[in-house]
Amino acid sequence: MQVMTDVEAATSAWMQLVEAVSDPLARKVLNLHCRDSNGYCQGDEYDGEWPQSPNWPCATVELVMDHLDQPAPAAASDTAWHWQRQRLG
Ligand SMILES: [Zn+2]
């Protein structure tokens, strides 16, 4: 059994906060920027400022969660990917 590090646990808890957001506008934005099975954002940032799909959480998700006073843990975009990979086996 894998033991989660503190950062992984904080990121896991924060990902649940993201899923629990109920503010209507924030929910719509977050739904547009959900993560795919490879841990990338499914938003369309790659058409604009970024050259490719960013790791999830992308800057848009972090912006929304900052606005809701629930900022991502440090290094969440790296950690979320690894944590999800472990969870999926
Ligand atoms: Zn995004």
- 50 lies in some domain: yes
- 76 lies in some domain: yes
- 74 lies in some domain: yes
- 2 lies in some domain: no
The 10s digit of each residue's pLDDT in 67-76 is 999 999 887 7
Residues near ion ligand 1 (Cβ under 5 Å): 33, 41, 43, 58, 60
The total number of structural domains in the chain stands at 1
pLDDT at 89: 47
- 81 lies in some domain: yes
Ligand 1 centre distance from Cα of residue 34 (Å):
7
pLDDT at 4: 75
| 28: containing domain | 23-88
Per the CB < 8 A criterion, the answer to whether 59 and 45 are in contact is yes
pTM attached to this predicted model: 0.75
Please state, as a whole number, how many other Cβ atoms lie within 10 Å of the Cβ of residue 21: 17
- 4 lies in some domain: no
Ligand 1 centre distance from Cα of residue 1 (Å):
31
The 10s digit of each residue's pLDDT in 22-76 is 999 999 999 999 988 888 888 876 655 556 677 889 889 999 999 999 999 887 7
pLDDT band at 81 (very low <50, low <70, confident <90, very high): low
Half-sphere exposure of residue 82, counting CA atoms within 13 Å on the CB side?
13
Ligand 1 centre distance from Cα of residue 47 (Å):
11
- 13 lies in some domain: no
- 5 lies in some domain: no
Per the CB < 8 A criterion, the answer to whether 61 and 32 are in contact is no
